[in-house]
Amino acid sequence: STPLHVAARWGQSEVIKGLLSHEALKFFIKDMLLVQLEKFGLPLHEAARCGKREALQALLTAGTAQNCLQEMLLMQDTEGKTPLSIAQYQHHQHQHRPSGTSQEILSIFSQFEATLSKQVAPVIKEEVISNLANALVEHHSTPPISDSVTANSRKRAADTDLGAQREAQRLCTGAASDSLSSQKHYSLTL
Tally of domains in the chain: 2
DSSP letters of 129-172? HHHHHHHHHHTT---SS-HHHHHHHHHHHHHHHHHHHHHHHHHH
Residue 12 shares a structural domain with residue 60: yes
Per-run averaged pLDDT (10 residues), the chain, 190 residues: 95 96 92 92 93 92 89 91 84 50 70 62 60 63 46 49 50 44 40
pLDDT at 168: 47
Cβ-proximal residues to 28 (8 Å cutoff; 6+ apart), any chain: none
pLDDT at 98: 38
Alpha carbon 80 to its chain's center = 16
Residue 111 shares a structural domain with residue 127: yes
Across 7-23, b (16+ Cβ under 10 Å) vs e yields bbbebbbebbbebbeee
Residue 91 shares a structural domain with residue 162: no
Across 105-114, b (16+ Cβ under 10 Å) vs e yields bbbbbbebbe
Residue 79 shares a structural domain with residue 126: yes
Domain range spanning residue 170?
Answer: 150-190
pLDDT at 184: 40
Residue 121 shares a structural domain with residue 154: no
Instruction: Identify whether the C-beta of residue 71 lies closer than 8 Å to the C-beta of residue 45.
Output: no
pLDDT at 133: 67
